Amino acid sequence: MLIVEIAGDWLDRSSLPDLAAVQHELAHTQAKALEFDASALGHWDSALMVRILALFDLCTKAKSEFRAATLPEGLAKLIALSQAVPEKSDAVRKSTTPSFLQRVGESGLTAWTGGTSMLSFLGESVVASLKLVRGQAQFRWSDTLLVIQQCGPEALGIVGLINFLIGMILAFVGATELTQFGASIYTADLVAIASVREMACIMTGIIICGRTGAAFAAQLGTMKVNQEIEAFQTFGISSFEFLVLPRMMALVLMMPLLCLFADLIAIAGGFLVSTLMLDVSPLLYLDRTVASISLTAFLLGVFKGAFFGVIVALTGCLRGMQCGTNAAAVGQATTSAVVTGITWIIASDGIFAVICSALHI
């Protein structure tokens, strides 16, 4: 039998004795039991309790009997209480690595669920739009006008700045190559066609997605956290018609106008570079710009801008309505709205390019 003497005060946690000696004795002497001599024990706190429990674990591993009867009454009761209910074998969560097939299956189910919810949301938007045309939607134009102000006039500054820089970049790139052939005047054609047909609408769509689409997701996500959407449903108000439809209508109405503004600003950026650095006369640049822009290219850019507006509104509102019920979920919904919106804008622009090439537009 191994006797462990406990003496003095056990209050200073920085000078607690090591248990290596007791572990060595239990391992080599094969003691059948471990007792305590606490006759000289002074004041103690939880530090002694931790050491006693560590000795209990050593006795369990060494298959020796642990005798706590000679300990102070309070300490013995605490030891007995701590060992009254043993830890369940299945209480500890075990980390498991899913197999490859399981990961593929979970990814497939997630993609299927996401696609289904997106199609359902798109169907609800079509139904709500038809109700609006018939005048049956739970819809307020005052809300739409407020959103129009936020995503229209208040966005002119950032849209103008980015598209002005894009026009300058196109002029610089075009001039670098065309000057080698003595055709620097065609820089005006390059800037005009690229801006009106592609760059203005796609850059405006990306800007509005990062600015307004994220705001839609954050607003609706916060309403979801505060249970305001459930309150609308309790009062019999369609949350889709009351919250989503005004935002979608605002972007559909504003995106063509923003694209027209972006066209003018991008052409102005190319005009500045061409007249100041390429020695192209302002009148000649404007003549080439007007001659190169066709009505088909102009209408195509405006139509794509309106389509991108629908994408931004749907993705932002969809992620906001799918938001969880905590602050972290609002951030995740906002990030997901921006990523999904930009991805769909780029993908749909590629689809438009293929269709226009097939139709010789």
Report, as an integer, the average pLDDT of 23-46.
72
Q: Which residues have CB under 8 Å from 220's CB, separation 6+?
A: 229, 243, 244, 316, 317, 320, 321, 323
pLDDT at 206: 92
Of the pLDDT bands very low, low, confident and very high (cuts 50, 70, 90), residue 161 is very high
Q: Is the pLDDT of residue 91 over 60?
A: no
Q: What are phi and psi of 58, to 5 degrees?
A: -65, -40
Geometric angle at alpha carbon 247, from 127 and 252, rounded to 5°: 80
pLDDT at 92: 54
| pLDDT > 90 fraction of the chain, expressed in percent and rounded | 7
Six token digits for residue 189: 């054609």
pLDDT at 87: 57
Geometric angle at alpha carbon 170, from 169 and 173, rounded to 5°: 85
In tens, the pLDDT along 206-221 reads: 999 988 888 888 888 8
pLDDT at 164: 92
Assessment of whether the complete model's pTM goes beyond 0.75:
no
- Report the mean per-residue pLDDT for the chain: 81
d(CA 112, CA 325): 23
Q: What are phi and psi of 7, to 5 degrees?
A: -140, 160
Q: Is the pLDDT of residue 252 over 60?
A: yes
d(CA 77, CA 202): 74
Q: Cβ(316)–Cβ(215) under 8 Å?
A: yes
Report, as an integer, the average pLDDT of 285-295.
86
In tens, the pLDDT along 56-67 reads: 777 777 777 777
b/e for 17-36, b at 16 or more Cβ within 10 A?
eeeeebbebbeeeebeebbb
d(CA 263, CA 191): 10
Q: Cβ(270)–Cβ(168) under 8 Å?
A: yes
The secondary structure of the chain, three-state, reads CEEEEEEEEECCHHHCCCCHHHHHHHHHHCCCEEEEEEEEEEEECHHHHHHHHHHHHHHHHHCCEECCCCCCHHHHHHHHHHCCCCCCCCCCCCCCCCCHHHHHHHHHHHHHHHHHHHHHHHHHHHHHHHHHHHCCCCCCHHHHHHHHHHHCHHHHHHHHHHHHHHHHHHHHHHHHHHHHHCCHHHHHHHHHHHHHHHHHHHHHHHHHHHHHHHHHHHHHHHHHHCCHHHHHHHCCCCHHHHHHHHHHHHHHHHHHHHHHHHHHHHHHHHHHHHHHHCCCCHHHHHHHHHHHCCHHHHHHHHHHHHHHHHHHHHHHHHHHHCCCCCHHHHHHHHHHHHHHHHHHHHHHHHHHHHHHHHCCC
